[in-house]
A and B are shown apart, each in its own frame.
Chain A
């Protein structure tokens, strides 16, 4: 089994990072390219960008962001948000992203998973699932669907997904720990890697999630602490989790 992965997630709207950060040493705290470089240099194993733009122009801006990130960052990155058809995945991957993450569009049209996987390989397709009490929600967690989380994860894997990004809506932003029950249930149900998301408040929380899954997504815990990432890695390692040995430059 490869080493566990710690993955900072950046929300981007119209080309700007929207979640608050306090990186005083950065020239521009809203620039996704600069933040990506900062996290990459700070020992992130991978990055996720979530494009929350509401307009086609916003998605075009994201394509440009992807291109610029690919120029400066030498770790893998995934882009989600606004990917509704294979052509959207092509636009993002050919701009330099390694993988795309799909959520509502896959729920509306599950064959999209296999279509992207056939073109770019399973490793390029992450299916993001937003869970609340075992039920799947779409459209940024606002709309309840009739699907059950575990069943949808199994179907996504069968259709060719290379990884599941599982977010607990209840825990997201609470910083009180991941929802370990649903995380374990999904992990046990599929034979593809799983990323736990929603609720990271401490190194112990992340370590608890990483005892179950292959990777953990972190947001505010790293955005709000300027020197946080490398310290967080050390603390997670001290909890008995094997992360990538990482040297300072």
Chain B
């Protein structure tokens, strides 16, 4: 996807690289506990906090968005990065995981979701079926859906926020 946008990227958990990069994407696959353990062990967590304090941009995707708030209920409770207010709860919808394309308001655009948890009491800027699916504060912008799997709509969103 980033190649399509004519951007180059590097996968890294090195604190100096994270601190120095022009832009940082915090992606999300796996569980909150293993992701936070990795970020803490590598020093990436502190580098992300330093970036945020300095006002350098961070984009969180899916779990990467959830990690930005204070706390997650996943895996019996995990302390997250705490860049933004809010916490993460298990979805209370008909079928979990919540899988598939869903409309996001006020953007009036469908994006692809695959999640079992969601953020609450966070600075929400967009919702889908009543769920906060994009949050932003300071230099952090995070989305619950997967722009990299959301065809044209996702590509346009990434182009705007990167």
Contact = CB atoms under 8 A, between A and B. Distances in A.
Interface of A: 1-5, 40, 45-46, 71, 74-76, 98, 119-124, 162-163, 191-193, 214-215, 244-245, 247, 249
A76 B149 contact: yes
B89 interface: no
A86 to B, nearest CB: 14
Interface in B42-56: none
A4 B101 CA distance: 8
Contact of B30 (A121, A192, A193): A121
Interface in B61-98: 93-98
Contacts of B20: none
B150 interface: yes
Interface in B92-138: 93-103, 110, 112-116, 129
6 smallest CB-CB distances across A and B, nearest first, come from A2-B100, A123-B114, A2-B102, A244-B101, A123-B97, A76-B149
Interface of A is mostly: loop
A123 B115 contact: yes
A76 B99 CA distance: 11
B93 to A, nearest CB: 7
A191 B96 CA distance: 7
Residue from B1, B4, B29, B154 with most neighbouring chain A CB atoms (10 Å): B29
Contacts of A244: 101, 110
Contacts of A1: 93-95, 129
Interface in B1-52: 1, 3-4, 29-31
Given A74-B155, A191-B94, A121 B110 contact: no
Contact of B101 (A2, A71, A162): A2
A201 to B, nearest CB: 24
Residue from A45, A46, A192, A244 with most neighbouring chain B CB atoms (10 Å): A244
Contact of B95 (A3, A120, A191, A247): A191
B99 A214 contact: yes
A215 B114 CA distance: 14
A5 B154 contact: no
A162 B94 contact: no
B95 A214 contact: yes
Given A5-B101, A121-B29, A123-B115, 5 more contacts: A1-B95, A1-B129, A2-B101, A2-B102, A75-B151
A10 to B, nearest CB: 18
A163 B96 CA distance: 9
A120 B30 CA distance: 5
B100 A75 contact: no
B152 interface: yes
A172 B122 CA distance: 47
Contact of B149 (A98, A121, A247): A98
B8 to A, nearest CB: 15
Given A2-B113, A74-B148, A123 B99 contact: yes
A121 B28 CA distance: 11
12 contacts: A2-B100, A2-B101, A40-B151, A74-B148, A74-B152, A123-B115, A124-B29, A162-B114, A163-B99, A192-B96, A214-B95, A245-B110
Contacts of A247: 152
Given A74-B1, A76-B114, A121 B99 contact: no
A171 B29 CA distance: 36
